[in-house]
Amino acid sequence: MSDSHERALKALERRGRLRALQPRSGIDFSSNDYLGLAASPELAEAVAAALDRGVAIGAGGSRLLRGNDPEHEVLEAEAAAFFGAEGCLYFGGGFLANYALFSTLPARGDLVVHDALIHASVIDGMRAGKAAIASAAHNDAESFETAIRQWRAAGGTGRPWIAVESLYSMDGDQAPLTDLVAIARRHDGVLVVDEAHATGVLGPDGRGLAHALEGSSDVISLHTCGKALGVSGALLLAPRAMRDFLVNRARPFIYATAPSPLMAAAVRAALGLVRTGPGRRQRLAKLVAFAGRELERSCGIAPSGSHIQPVVLGADERAVSVAKALVAEGFDVRAVRPPTVPEGTARLRISLTLNAGEDATARMLDTLATILARVPA
């Protein structure tokens, strides 16, 4: 390792921001496996059945070479029908899909206005693209409108793109999608909605918070498969012309080995479980309501109302100390620090999943209250 890398790591350590991989331990309050599907017997059986019928594990090449497997195409057709879009493209992950989208579709002369708390994959994709970039205040529709108007007033003549998450991964709050799509349409723009943390959980049949907008010529959505669906990859839903443009121009799609055909089969099975089995969503909704009441009772903290509950602690050191204390008590809760979240908002990100029931949730929150009382602000 070079001296500069060593110095940089030591500087991160001094600031309390050195990252390291940690093994799984304790009861799950940190994963995105919201419906508890990742280790479910239903998905295990679906994968075994796919192997039995000869589905390949590896693709063997990019989709434009020999890697285009029938499982990819069947998944894309079924997903487009399920979510109500013209076209679908299956990527190996959500980061890759967002990077491909924002580095390819917005053109030179266009503007991408993104929520201030948008995911890093969108930020990196925009930076690699050709369009101008502007940030809007979090969940403030008027801020998006102002950014577009200022760009037009300065001579902008291209197309505006609005980039948001439907449910934010670190705050658990929802975007004002009705207002945002109206703004996009007033300015002949496109609304791009990352449904990563809503897919499978929210909306009719788990189709997400933007379900009523799917299929519109000015709306693109991204549904990741590695969270509530319990598998991996990402489904980019878009008008057919945009989907086909990505096939022809998106470097992360063209030059990457195709996702595993076996995983495509697993995603199909997960979508089937979500579509036909509302029981898991109903159990999670009940758990979210229970946890919200317990959080207010034990900690005096207002709930987010979703399966993502932040506990903002401010200082990096306090967030890390509280998380370590919870892990020592058998609860897998992780601290999230800048730059993932804004400066001064280091937090615990409590994730509610069907991997932990009401009893475990109540015990975790009571333990959290005790720890917060003894770890000073």
Same domain, 204 and 98: yes
Same domain, 128 and 153: yes
Which position among 169, 321, 351, 355 bears the catalytic label? 169
The DSSP call for residue 166 is S
Catalytic site residue 169?
Answer: yes
Average of pLDDT values for 238-247? 98
Catalytic site residue 142?
Answer: no
Measured from the Cβ of residue 187, the count of other Cβ atoms closer than 10 Å reads 20
Among 276, 307, 328, residue at a domain's last position: 276
Model pLDDT, residue 23 = 84
pLDDT tens digits, one per residue of 67-79: 999 999 999 999 9
Same domain, 270 and 349: no
Whether 301 maps to a domain, the answer reads yes
SS3 369: helix
First and final C-alpha spacing in the chain: 37
Q: How many structural domains are present in the chain?
A: 2
pLDDT tens digits, one per residue of 313-369: 999 999 999 999 999 999 999 999 999 999 999 999 999 999 999 999 999 999 999
Position of tokens 């933007």? 210
The residues, ordered by sequence, that sit 6+ positions from 232 with a Cβ below 8 Å of its Cβ are 92, 93, 225, 226, 259, 263
Model pLDDT, residue 182 = 98
Share of the chain above pLDDT 90, in %: 94
Give the domain CATH number at 176: 3.40.640.10
Model confidence at 17, in pLDDT bands (50, 70, 90)? confident
Same domain, 267 and 361: no
Average of pLDDT values for 295-300? 94
Position of tokens 């498969």? 225
Model confidence at 191, in pLDDT bands (50, 70, 90)? very high
Best CA proximity match to 228, nearest among 76, 38, 55, 67: 38
pLDDT: which is higher, 89 or 3: 89
Position of tokens 């991997």? 355
Which position among 227, 304, 306, 321 bears the catalytic label? 227
Whether 13 maps to a domain, the answer reads no
Same domain, 143 and 87: yes
SS3 351: strand
Tell me the two tokens of residue 34. 């919201």
Average of pLDDT values for 136-155? 98
Best CA proximity match to 36, nearest among 206, 270, 347: 270
Whether the pLDDT of residue 1 is over 60: the answer is no
Among 276, 304, 327, residue at a domain's last position: 276
Same domain, 69 and 31: no
Q: What is the dihedral angle through the alpha carbons of 85, 225, 198, 325, rounded to the nearest 10 degrees?
A: -170
Catalytic site residue 119?
Answer: yes
Which position among 33, 194, 195, 294 bears the catalytic label? 194
Same domain, 165 and 222: yes
pLDDT tens digits, one per residue of 46-55: 999 999 999 9
| Cis, bond preceding 342 (omega within 30 deg of 0) | no
Whether 324 maps to a domain, the answer reads yes
Is residue 171 within 8 Å of 308, Cβ to Cβ?
yes
Range of the domain at 155: 55-276
Whether 304 maps to a domain, the answer reads yes
Average of pLDDT values for 141-145? 98
Among 220, 249, 276, residue at a domain's last position: 276
Catalytic site residue 10?
Answer: no
Whether the pLDDT of residue 19 is over 90: the answer is no
Q: Cα separation of 77 and 74, whole Å?
A: 5
Whether 8 maps to a domain, the answer reads no
Same domain, 317 and 254: no
Catalytic site residue 355?
Answer: no
Catalytic site residue 227?
Answer: yes
Model pLDDT, residue 15 = 83
Which position among 197, 211, 223, 307 bears the catalytic label? 197
Best CA proximity match to 112, nearest among 220, 256, 224: 220
Average of pLDDT values for 103-121? 97
Give the domain CATH number at 36: 3.90.1150.10
Mean pLDDT of the chain: 96
Whether the pLDDT of residue 160 is over 60: the answer is yes
Which position among 72, 119, 187, 307 bears the catalytic label? 119
Whether 11 maps to a domain, the answer reads no
Number of alpha helices (DSSP H) and beta strands (DSSP E) in the chain: 13, 12
Whether 139 maps to a domain, the answer reads yes
Same domain, 147 and 288: no
Same domain, 187 and 304: no
Q: Cα separation of 374 and 365, whole Å?
A: 15
Same domain, 157 and 283: no
Model pLDDT, residue 2 = 81
Q: Cα separation of 99 and 251, whole Å?
A: 10
Same domain, 336 and 362: yes
Whether 7 maps to a domain, the answer reads no
pLDDT tens digits, one per residue of 194-234: 999 999 999 999 999 999 999 999 999 999 999 999 999 99
Model pLDDT, residue 25 = 87
Is residue 230 within 8 Å of 35, Cβ to Cβ?
yes
Which position among 165, 195, 294, 332 bears the catalytic label? 165
Tell me the whole-structure pTM to 2 decimals. Answer: 0.94
CA-based R_g, the chain, Å: 21
Model pLDDT, residue 375 = 86
